[in-house]
Every structure is written in structure tokens, then in C-alpha cells.
């Protein structure tokens, strides 16, 4: 440990190299700032290394297994489908490595200095950066904190070899025969669905009345139907009580409908939310305001109550979404450069990579009415779309929420194949203040799933072609 080190002076310091931090660093560098980024872990943060990217790779591998079994409806049947799960994990790792090395190249290409270590704030212009051997003091003019979040650990479900967080579930060396998933939100539903496609018998324990809170019941019903078809068991309004670990598995105790029950499995995956990483970095030394939940309070430019320090991503209010963090990172970098940029979450989508995929942007029907709008809701089914039928994947719908007086697009919800990609067009309509007429007049290629957006807009206008 180096004692009495001489401070290194920095212009803009970014703490955390996840999708919020590295994007903020690059944007700040583009704007002429001299930027240094610090992270104690791998570049790309949770999202690229143990979150968004590896989970989607595992989900896709599960889809490949499901497709490999064939479809009797299409006249295709197969036998003896084999999965080399070690090879699946190797492929997943290669996807992660390509992206993390790409982030390093982007940072270096934009002349961002990369420092490895753990940050602790000394005062509003000073941090200590520590690794296993050394400690170095840095002073800075401006700082963007993007330290992300970590899984919440339930006291009665301490993480272990059999009690997994999302990282553990992504790195299993074998396909479990049985798995219990506590919490059926985004992460639980996605990973549970992926393992169900690999043949795992999955039991979901969800404390709320429905899975995937934040999405409308019409949407979640489709996911539940598909999960049950895969053999999954879904128990809602269930309270997980404790776990007994054995040599070969776990026995989970839970309470539902006033009765205590048990379920045995190889592993239990705990996905009950995430906690902001703000508790061990010295924010109290600087006097930065945080909420009771540990979230940093910021203004519309992501500035904290300390005027030269900004905060973005999972450590501020709002859903812990990678694209939200990236968006906020750009705003903070621009604010430091003196631009008038400020956050406006109206066009930020939320997506669940379940089966079918779910996506929402802007306001749903209930939110629009609560906001005082006189709304018109237009819905078009995937079952009336030629491309969806040719994909043999026609469950779902697209719903547009428009203002009755002029057709202004207030929001949209999609449940169906490729909803994660399709939501961007609706998001653009919301962000740009477009109307249903704008969407209807946009010529969409045929046959594509994208036509569903145009068709829903025509329903909103009262002139549907492919629906009575």
C-alpha cells in the first residue's frame, strides 16, 4: 500500500464502466473533456458481463433447443436432440468477450484513460482508488457516478452453490432437472423460461398477484400460458420462507393461500430485485443526498446536490435498465459540457425477453386516463399478420394508446415475437409527437411484423384494412 501518494489531477472522472459509465465517458470525450474511467470489475459492468448480454445469449440457446425439437404442425419432427451445455456456456462467454473487448477499444479510441480499482470519495473533488496492492489519490473537476446495482439477498436465502443469484444461474455447469425461481419479474421470468426450454422443470414463486409487474395482465397471461405449456408451475401470492440445502439440491419452504408448502429442486434462483451500489463508496464524506433505499437524488441533468458530481443508472430513481443508464450518461456528459440537455423519460421502453416477448413505451391505457387524457385504444393481433403466421408464432398483439382528439400517440404495448425490436418505432412516435396518421401513412415492407404497427394505427383511425 502506497502511503502519502501525490494526487493525480483529472478533468472528468467516471466511476463505473457499465452501460451508463462507459457511454458517459465516451460522450464526454467527444465533447472535448479529458476523461478517466475507473471500475473495480470488468469493462461493461453487470450488463455486458453477467446480465443483459449473457442472459440473452442463454435465452437464444434455449430457443435453439426448442426449435431443434421440430414442429409437428409444420410436418417437422426430430429425435434425440442433444445439448452440450459446456459448449453453450463457452459460446455465451465468447459473445461477452467480443463486446467487452469492443468497449475497451471504444474507450481507448476516444482517448479515455482506463483505471482499475475501487473508488472511495474523500471530498467533493477527491477520491482514493485502491486495488489489492496500491492506493492512489485523484482530484477531479467533475465526476459522474455510475456504480450500478447488485442482487438483493434474502436473509433466509443466503447465496451459495445451490442458492443462486442471476450470475450464478447464468454460469451453471449443467442443466438442472428442477429449479425453483423466487420472484417472477424480468430476470426470473427470462432465466426461468430459458431453462424451461432446456428441459428444466421450473417452479416460480411470486409474491405479487401476477408475474412481470409493470406489464398489463393481457400481456402477462400470454407468458403464463406459454410457460405452463413448457411444464412450468407458477404460484403467485407466495411467500418464500426458507431453504434447506442438501448434498444434491434444495428444499424450499413457502406459504401460499394460508398453507405452508415445500418444493424440492436442484437449485433455487433468487431474483427479488436489485440494490444500488452506493453504500461503500464514501458518499457521506461528500454530503451527497440519498434516499432511504440508497438511491442518489439528482435533478433533470443528473446533477446531485453537490454541483460538480452527477449520478446515473441503477443508483438513481427509475427502473434499473441498461438503456436508461446509457441515456442518462449522455445527459450528464452534455451537462458538464455546458449544454442544456435534460432527462425526459417519456420515450424509454421496457422489455421482457420472455415467450412471447413483451415491450411497452410511453403510457398504457390506465396511465393515460389517470393523466387526464381522453384516449382511444387500438389493438391489432399478430394472428392477422402474414409474417407472424409464416413464422408459426402468432400469439400476441400490438396496442396503441392515442389521444382521441388528434390521434397523438401516447404509448404502446406489444406482446409477440420481436416485440423488443418493434417497440422502437412506437417509441419514436411517442418521442417525436407523432400521430396515428403518421404511422399509418408510413409504408411498411411486406410481409413483415413491422406492418402490425401500421395496421394498429389504421385501427386507431377507424380505417383498418386487414381487420373487421
**Same domain, residue pair 183 and 259:** yes
422 inside domain: yes
2 inside domain: no
466 inside domain: no
466 in catalytic set: no
Per-residue confidence (pLDDT) for residue 215, from 0 to 100:
97
- C-alpha triplet 143, 144, 146: angle, nearest 5°: 140
For residues 235 and 204, give the distance between their C-alpha atoms in angstroms, rounded to a whole number: 6
**Same domain, residue pair 178 and 147:** no
User: Which of 63, 69, 444, 446 is labelled catalytic?
Assistant: 446
Per-residue confidence (pLDDT) for residue 5, from 0 to 100:
64
126 inside domain: yes
Sign of the torsion formed by the C-alpha atoms of 97, 99, 102 and 104? negative
1 inside domain: no
pLDDT less than 70: residues of the chain:
1-5
Contacts of range 280-288, beta carbons closer than 8 Å, 24 or more positions apart: 280/120, 281/15, 281/119, 281/120, 281/121, 281/145, 281/147, 282/120, 282/121, 282/122, 282/127, 283/121, 285/120, 285/121, 285/122, 285/123, 286/121, 286/123, 286/124, 287/124
Per-residue confidence (pLDDT) for residue 2, from 0 to 100:
42
CATH number at residue 206: 3.50.50.60
CA atoms within 13 A on the CB side of 128: 16
**Same domain, residue pair 37 and 140:** yes
**Same domain, residue pair 169 and 247:** yes
pLDDT digit string (tens) for 180-195? 999 999 999 999 999 9
- Binding-site residue numbers for NAD(+) are 183-190, 206, 273
CATH number at residue 401: 3.30.390.30
**Same domain, residue pair 331 and 406:** no
**Same domain, residue pair 284 and 147:** yes
From 243, 272, 301, give the residue that closes a domain: 272
For residues 153 and 54, give the distance between their C-alpha atoms in angstroms, rounded to a whole number: 21
Per-residue confidence (pLDDT) for residue 247, from 0 to 100:
84
110 inside domain: yes
**Same domain, residue pair 125 and 87:** yes
**Same domain, residue pair 84 and 19:** yes
From 316, 345, 374, give the residue that closes a domain: 345
Burial of 111 per CB tally in 10 Å (0-12, 13-18, 19+) = exposed
351 inside domain: no
**Same domain, residue pair 265 and 340:** no
376 inside domain: yes
- Binding-site residue numbers for FAD are 56, 147-149, 314
For residues 357 and 442, give the distance between their C-alpha atoms in angstroms, rounded to a whole number: 24
**Same domain, residue pair 456 and 361:** yes
From 248, 272, 296, give the residue that closes a domain: 272
Cell reading at 80 = 434425440
**Same domain, residue pair 379 and 455:** yes
Place of cell 399478420: 385
Per-residue confidence (pLDDT) for residue 6, from 0 to 100:
83
For residues 239 and 383, give the distance between their C-alpha atoms in angstroms, rounded to a whole number: 37
Q: Residue 298: give the domain boundaries.
A: 8-151+275-345
- Binding-site residue numbers are 56, 147-149, 183-190, 206, 273, 314
- Domain count across the chain: 3
Taking alpha carbons only, the member of 334, 346, 325, 324 closest to residue 301 is 334
**Same domain, residue pair 21 and 114:** yes
Amino acid at each position: 500500500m502506497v502511503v502519502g501518494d501525490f494526487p493525480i489531477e483529472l478533468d472528468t472522472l467516471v466511476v463505473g464502466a457499465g452501460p451508463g459509465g462507459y457511454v458517459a465517458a465516451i460522450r464526454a470525450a467527444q465533447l472535448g473533456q479529458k476523461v478517466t474511467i475507473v471500475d473495480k470489475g470488468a469493462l461493461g459492468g453487470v450488463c455486458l458481463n453477467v446480465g443483459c448480454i449473457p442472459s440473452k445469449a442463454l435465452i437464444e440457446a434455449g430457443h435453439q433447443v426448442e426449435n431443434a425439437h421440430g414442429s409437428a404442425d409444420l410436418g417437422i419432427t426430430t429425435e434425440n436432440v442433444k445439448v452440450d451445455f459446456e459448449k453453450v456456456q463457452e459460446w455465451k462467454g465468447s459473445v461477452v468477450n467480443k463486446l467487452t473487448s469492443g468497449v475497451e477499444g471504444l474507450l481507448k479510441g476516444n482517448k479515455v484513460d482506463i483505471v482499475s480499482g475501487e473508488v472511495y470519495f474523500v471530498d467533493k473533488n477527491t477520491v482514493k482508488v485502491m486495488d489489492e496492492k496500491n492506493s492512489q489519490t485523484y482530484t477531479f473537476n467533475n465526476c459522474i457516478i455510475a456504480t450500478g446495482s447488485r442482487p438483493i439477498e434474502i436473509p433466509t436465502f443466503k447465496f451459495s452453490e445451490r442458492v443462486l443469484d442471476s450470475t450464478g444461474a447464468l454460469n451453471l455447469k449443467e442443466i438442472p432437472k428442477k429449479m425453483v425461481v423466487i420472484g417472477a419479474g424480468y430476470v426470473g421470468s427470462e432465466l426461468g423460461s430459458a431453462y424451461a426450454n432446456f428441459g428444466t422443470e421450473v417452479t416460480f414463486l411470486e409474491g405479487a398477484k401476477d408475474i412481470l409487474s409493470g406489464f398489463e395482465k393481457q400481456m402477462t397471461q400470454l407468458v403464463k400460458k406459454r410457460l405452463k405449456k413448457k411444464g412450468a408451475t407458477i404460484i403467485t401470492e407466495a411467500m418464500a420462507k426458507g431453504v434447506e440445502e442438501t448434498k444434491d439440491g434444495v428444499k424450499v419452504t413457502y406459504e401460499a393461500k394460508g398453507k405452508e408448502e415445500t418444493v424440492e429442486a436442484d437449485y433455487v434462483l433468487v431474483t427479488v430485485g436489485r440494490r444500488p451500489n452506493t453504500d461503500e463508496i464514501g458518499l457521506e464524506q461528500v454530503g451527497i443526498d440519498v434516499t432511504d433505499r440508497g438511491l442518489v437524488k439528482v435533478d433533470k441533468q443528473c446533477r446531485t446536490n453537490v454541483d460538480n458530481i452527477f449520478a446515473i443508472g441503477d443508483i438513481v430513481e427509475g427502473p434499473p435498465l441498461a438503456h436508461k443508464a446509457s441515456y442518462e450518461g449522455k445527459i450528464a456528459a452534455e451537462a458538464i459540457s455546458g449544454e442544456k440537455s435534460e432527462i425526459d423519460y417519456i420515450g424509454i421502453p421496457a422489455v421482457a425477453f420472455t415467450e412471447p416477448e413483451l415491450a411497452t413505451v410511453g403510457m398504457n391505457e390506465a396511465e393515460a386516463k389517470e393523466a387526464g387524457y381522453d384516449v382511444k385504444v387500438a389493438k391489432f393481433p399478430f394472428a392477422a399478420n402474414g409474417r407472424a403466421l409464416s413464422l408459426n408464432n402468432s400469439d400476441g398483439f400490438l396496442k396503441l394508446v392515442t389521444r382521441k382528439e388528434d390521434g397523438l400517440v401516447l404509448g404502446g404495448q406489444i406482446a409477440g415475437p420481436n416485440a423488443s425490436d418493434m417497440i422502437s418505432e412506437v417509441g419514436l412516435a411517442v418521442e417525436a409527437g407523432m400521430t396515428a396518421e403518421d404511422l399509418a401513412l408510413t409504408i411498411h415492407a411486406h410481409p413483415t411484423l413491422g406492418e402490425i404497427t401500421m395496421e394498429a394505427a389504421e385501427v386507431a383511425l377507424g380505417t383498418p384494412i386487414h381487420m373487421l
